[in-house]
Chains A and B, each alone.
Chain A
Amino acid sequence: MDLFFQQVLNGLTLGGVYCLVALGLTLVYGVLHVPNFAHGAFYMAGAFVSFHLMTAWGWPYWLAMLGSAACVALLAVLAERLVFHPLRHASPLHPMIAAIGVLLFLEAAAQAIWGADFQRMQSPYTGIVDLAGVTAPVQRLLIIGAAFALVVIVHLFLTRTVTGSTIVAMAQTREGAALVGINANRVAMLTFALSGVLAAVAATLYAPINLVYPAMGHLVITKAFVIIILGGMGSVPGAIAGGLIIGLAESFGAFYVSDHYKDIIAFTLLVVILSLRPQGLFPNAAR
C-alpha cells in the first residue's frame, strides 16, 4: 500500500508540473490559435535564468523564481511582438513554422550562453519527510503545493478579475471582444506573458529534482501537447485534468507495468480518449 501511495505522490508531482506547462500552452492556443512549439524553450529558459540567478548572482531560491518569471514573461512578450504579431494575418502555417524557429533559436542561444553541460540546480529544501511509510522529499511536496496553488490563482485571475476576463472573452469570440472595446494587442501580450510566467515557475520548481540543459524542454513540451489535445485545445480545466491524468498514468505505468512502456501508456490513453471523445474532455469550457 505504501508503494501505491508513493506512486500517487509521484503522479501528483509530475501532474503538477505538466499542468503548469500545459496551462500556458492552452491559454496561448485559446486566444491566438497558435500552437506554440516554443513553449518548451520558454520552460528551458526559465530553468536557466533561475539557475543563473542562483549560482552566479547568489539570489535565494524564491527570489530567483520571481526573477526568472519576469524574464521569461518578457521573453514571451517579445516573441509575441516580434514574431507572432507580424504574422497574425498570414496563413496558419506561418506562425507554426515561426514557433519552431523561436524554439531552435532559444535552444541554440542557451547552448551558446551556458554551454551544453547538464547543470544541477540546488534547492534549499533537501529534506525527506516520512509520511506513514511514504518517502516524500520536501521538494516534491513543494512542487505539488506550489503548482496547485498557482493553478488556483490563475483560475481566480481568469474568472474574478476584469483583466483576466478579457483573456477569456478573447478566447470565446475575437470579434465580440473587440466590439466591447477589449484591446486585442494588450490581451495577446498579456496571455504570452502569463504563459511565460507559468513555464518559468514550473521549470524552477521541477529543476532541483532533475537537470538543467538546453534540450530539457523537449521532454515536457511533447507531454504538454498531448495534455491539451486530451483536455480540449484552449480549455483551462482540460489542461488541469489532462495534466493530472498523464502524470498519474506515467507514474503508475512505470511502476506497475514497466518504465519501458510508460510513454506508450500515456499515448494509448490519448488514443482511447480521443476515439471516445474526439473533441477532448472539456471542449467548450473556454470558448
Chain B
Amino acid sequence: MRLNSTIKTVFALLLPLLGVQAAYAQDVVKIGYSGPLSGGAAQYGKNVLAGMEMAASEINAAGFEVGGKKYKLVIVPLDDKYNPSETAINAQRLVQEHKTPAILVPHSGGSFALQTNNEAQKYLLLSYTSVPQVTARGNKLTLRIPPEFTTYIDHFIKHAMGKYGKSLAIANADHDYAKTWTAAFKPAWEAAGGKVVAENPMSYNRATDFYSGVSRALAGKPDVMFIGGASEPTGLVIKQARELGFKGGFVIIDQAKMDEISKVTGGYAMLEGSIGVLPLVENNGPHVKNFVERYRKIAAGRDPSTEVSLNYTAVHATAIAMKLAKTVSDATAIRAQLDKAMKALPPANNPNDLDGVAENGGSSANIQVGVVEGGKVRPVNLRAAAGK
C-alpha cells in the first residue's frame, strides 16, 4: 500500500497547484510564437522571441487591462526549426491548446502555411517577413510587421550605382526569401541602366566554403556585389571577396545586419561603401538609444537587432489593438484596430518608427538605412532622401 499512499500524497500536493493554475487561466492572454529555436537559425528565432518577451513583461508591469478586466500577457513559444510544415502543426497546437488569438511567425514560408487556415480558425497572423506577397494575397487576418523590402531598392541602387558603377554581380543566398529579393532587384538594376555581369547565388546556410562561389562572381569583374543571407555567412562572403581583391561596394539585403556582419569581418573596414538596413545600435534617435540600453540590461549586454525591436513593437501594437477593440479573443476586431494602435504607440515602444498599417495588413515606417563611409555607419533617412 506504500505506492498508493505515495500517489495520494503527490495528489494532495498537486491539487492546490492545479487550483491556482485554473484560477489564473481565465485572466491570461496568450500570444503564440512559432519559429526556429534550434538548428542553424536558432539565434535568429531567439532574438525574435526575446523582443516579444521584453514587450510582454513591460505590458504586464504597466498593467494590462482590456474592457475593464485585468489580464496577464504570456508568450507561448514553439520550435519549428524554420520548417513551414512544423509551423502549421505548431499553430494547430497553439490555437487548440492555448487558445492564442495571435501567432507570430518570423519567416515567409511559415507565414504562407498559416495563411491557408488562419481565417477559418480565427487567429491573427503576425508575420515577420518583408516579402510583399504576404500581404498581396488578400488574407484578412495578417499583419506584416516590417515594411516591404521593395521600399529599399531604389535608394540602394542609386547609392551603389552612383558611387561604384553599373556592373553588378549577384551573389546573395539562394533560399526563397533571397530569391524574392533578386527577382525584384535585378530588373530594377537593369532598368536604371545597369548590367548584371555575373549571377551566382550561393547556399549561405549549407555551404562549407564561399571561395569558389565568390571567385566565380568576381570573374565577371563587377563594380558592385549584391549579397546577403543570414548575417554571419554574409560576413564570410564579404571577407572572401575582399581577400580575392574586390574593391567595389556591397548592396546587402535586409536579412543581414551590418553590426552582426562586422563581428565576423572584424570591424566595418571591409564593408566600406556598403549599403544595407541601419543597425539599431548605430541609430542616434533618443528613443532608440533608450531601447538599446533597456535591452542590454535584460539580455546580459547583448546588442538588440531589428529582429528584436520590430517584434517587440508588434507585441506592443497588438496589446494596444486589444485594448482599443475591447477584446482579447476576437481576431477580426483586433486586426481592425491595428492601424490606430500603431499610430498610438508611444515612441519608447517604437524604435523603428512604424507609423501605420494599410488595408492589406502591411505596415509602413519612416525607414533609415545605413551607408558605411570611412569605417563608420552613416544613417540615411529614406523619405528625406527621396524628397531631395
Contacts and interface: CB of A to CB of B under 8 A. Distances in A.
Task: State whether these chains interact.
Answer: yes
A213 interface: yes
A173 interface: no
Nearest to A126: B266
B236 A211 contact: yes
Contact of B211 (A10, A215, A253, A263): A10
B40 interface: yes
B213 interface: yes
Interface residues of A, number: 39
Contacts of B59: none
Interface string A206-223: 000111011100011001
A7 B230 CA distance: 25
Residue from A6, A250, A254 with most neighbouring chain B CB atoms (10 Å): A254
Interface in B2-42: 38-40, 42
A125 interface: no
Residue from A3, A120, A128 with most neighbouring chain B CB atoms (10 Å): A120
A157 interface: no
Nearest to B200: A259
A259 B212 contact: yes
Interface stretch (B201-209, B273-281, B320-328): B201-209
Interface string A246-287: 000011111110111011000000000000000000000000
B245 A135 contact: yes
Interface stretch (A56-64, A110-118, A179-187): A110-118
Interface residues of B, number: 31
Nearest to A220: B208
Interface string B168-208: 00000010000000000000000000000000111100111
B209 A116 contact: no
A92 interface: no
Contact of B212 (A108, A255, A263): A255
Interface in A8-60: 10, 13-14, 17
B243 interface: yes
Contacts of B232: 118, 120, 211, 213
Interface string B69-98: 000000000000000000000000000000
Nearest to B245: A135
Given A135-B244, A259-B203, A210 B212 contact: no
A137 interface: yes
B381 interface: no
Given A116-B43, A254-B213, A211 B264 contact: yes
Contacts of A250: 208-209, 212
B233 interface: yes
Given A135-B244, A259-B201, A251 B208 contact: no
A155 B216 CA distance: 36
B212 A128 contact: no
A219 B206 contact: yes
Residue from B46, B174, B208, B236 with most neighbouring chain A CB atoms (10 Å): B208
B263 interface: yes
B53 to A, nearest CB: 16
B215 interface: yes
A190 to B, nearest CB: 29
Contacts of A128: 243
A219 to B, nearest CB: 5
14 contacts: A10-B212, A13-B211, A14-B209, A17-B208, A116-B38, A120-B232, A120-B263, A128-B243, A135-B245, A215-B40, A219-B206, A253-B212, A259-B203, A260-B202
Interface of B: 38-40, 42-43, 46, 174, 200-203, 206-209, 211-213, 215-216, 219, 230-233, 236, 243-245, 263-264
